[in-house]
């Protein structure tokens, strides 16, 4: 494992270190450099210097280096998946899925880097010609979360494909995965200074610098809405270009004409991905009256088959990321039970493990209705009409994703348009595609990642050029 930070092509230690723990066993994995503002400034300066050459390098050459790195990740898949499971806790097969998911995104973006283009327009003045071009924005800072510590940093490599350089600050719970990406970047021949990784225990000082430094031209952040708001305020003085992928409170709507078996299967595939620790995961289960009891019964039978334990064993769920995460789940569940929810399944596990929790008769007065759970909890609410379902689904300050099941074509069109979310899954909870833009409405974010156009345009400035004859 790489356990030092990476600045300007060099592995960097620090006077202070912080410990990274295996969330399953609680044992120490490694000591990581606890760097500060001066180290971050050095990384920004290195990225700024590297930008001069990287930004004008032929797009195909940049693409080739990124594809080479992606291929190296595939070759080292087993090794990297073990590190991911050790550091974050998710089951090993799920860790492999995350890494390969990131590789696909990286290859896509590397190829799209060869197809950045503007357009030519017919100027009304016959003596003038008009074109627009896109150019890389400059140095990008990326602040990434712990729940997908390989995939989220990899999707920021769209910045490199566009010709930008990158300073990455990973989450303090899971820094090693990002350091392994630096190892892979070095192995693939990506020039020094193009990709830098800053590690620190307390993210505030370094995060504030990455959001305010005048050389940094764009900030991309994935994490909580509260931290996103703070970063937006910090970057206001320099009018930072930002992409914010923030919190969610995503609903699943199950109508009376739905295929219940398909709905339950889709619900479980997403709800228990990464132990429920997904921003676009399911938070509120809204089920129509006439199929409510049948849906709950099917969920109970399915949930009883789910196992939890060490991610290195054949289990469906690993541990939650830390003690605060488990306390939050317990608080939300206990509040729901105190306000009338009936626990169908609810048992306490040791350590950071949390087996599936199923609550029926949930209502909108519970904290679990408003707050993002980030755990393996299914809280099931009733609705009577389609109008009720849409009103309830949209009753949140978030708008990242929404999902629903119905076999009625006209209903599918109506509901898909009515839901206030940046991503909608119709008869599926697998609504992600690298060809589609990913991002939220309302307080779930600003900007988009992925997509045929949006993936690299987010890291470019648009320039209009007029030619006079």
Among candidate residues 278, 279, 299, 460, the one labeled active-site is 279
250 labelled catalytic: no
Q: Calculate the alpha carbon distances from 218 to 6, 116, 165 in Å.
A: 20, 18, 10
Among candidate residues 245, 372, 443, 449, the one labeled active-site is 245
> How far is residue 167's CA from residue 75's CA, in Å, rounded to a whole number?
25
245 labelled catalytic: yes
> How far is residue 413's CA from residue 60's CA, in Å, rounded to a whole number?
41
> How far is residue 464's CA from residue 461's CA, in Å, rounded to a whole number?
10
Report, as residue numbers or ranges, the catalytic residues.
245, 279
């Amino acid at each position: 494992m790489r356990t030092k930070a990476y600045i300007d092509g060099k592995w960097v230690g620090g006077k202070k270190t912080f410990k990274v723990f295996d969330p399953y066993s609680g044992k120490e994995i490694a000591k990581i450099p606890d760097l500060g503002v001066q180290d971050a400034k050095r990384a920004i300066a290195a990225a700024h210097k590297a930008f001069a050459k990287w930004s004008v390098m032929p797009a195909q050459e940049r693409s080739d280096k990124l594809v080479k790195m992606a291929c190296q990740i595939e070759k080292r898949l087993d090794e990297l998946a073990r590190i991911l499971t050790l550091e974050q806790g998710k089951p090993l097969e799920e860790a492999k899925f995350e890494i390969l998911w990131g590789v696909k995104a990286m290859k896509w973006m590397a190829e799209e880097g060869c197809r950045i283009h503007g357009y030519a327009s017919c100027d009304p003045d016959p003596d003038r010609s008009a074109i627009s071009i896109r150019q890389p924005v400059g140095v990008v800072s990326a602040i990434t979360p712990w729940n997908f510590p390989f995939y989220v940093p990899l999707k920021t490599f769209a910045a490199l494909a566009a010709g930008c350089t990158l300073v990455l600050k990973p989450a303090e719970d899971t820094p090693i995965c990002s350091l392994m990406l630096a190892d892979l970047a070095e192995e693939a021949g990506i020039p020094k200074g193009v990709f830098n990784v800053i590690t620190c225990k307390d993210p505030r000082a370094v995060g504030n610098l990455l959001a305010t430094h005048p050389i940094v031209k764009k900030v991309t952040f994935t994490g909580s809405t509260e931290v996103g708001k703070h970063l937006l305020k910090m970057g206001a003085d320099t009018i930072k270009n930002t992409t914010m992928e923030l919190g969610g409170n995503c609903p699943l709507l199950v109508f009376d004409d739905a295929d219940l078996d398909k709905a339950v299967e889709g619900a479980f595939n997403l709800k228990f991905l990464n132990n429920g620790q997904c921003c676009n995961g399911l938070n509120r289960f809204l089920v129509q009256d006439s199929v409510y009891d049948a849906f709950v019964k099917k969920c109970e039978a399915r949930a009883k088959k789910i196992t939890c334990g060490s991610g290195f064993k054949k289990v469906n769920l690993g541990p939650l990321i830390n003690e605060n995460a488990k306390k939050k789940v317990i608080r939300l569940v206990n509040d729901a039970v105190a306000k009338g929810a009936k626990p169908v399944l609810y048992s306490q596990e040791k350590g950071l493990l949390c087996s599936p929790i199923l609550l029926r008769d949930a209502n909108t007065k519970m904290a679990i209705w408003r707050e993002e759970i980030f755990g393996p909890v299914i809280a099931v609410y009733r609705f009577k009409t389609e109008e009720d379902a849409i009103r309830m689904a949209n009753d949140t300050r978030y708008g990242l994703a929404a999902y629903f099941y119905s076999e009625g074509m006209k209903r599918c069109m109506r509901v898909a348009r009515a839901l206030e979310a940046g991503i909608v899954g119709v008869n599926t909870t697998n609504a992600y595609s690298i060809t589609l833009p990913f991002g939220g409405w309302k307080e779930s974010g600003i900007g988009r990642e992925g997509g045929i156009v949006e993936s690299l345009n987010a890291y470019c400035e648009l320039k209009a050029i007029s030619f006079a004859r």
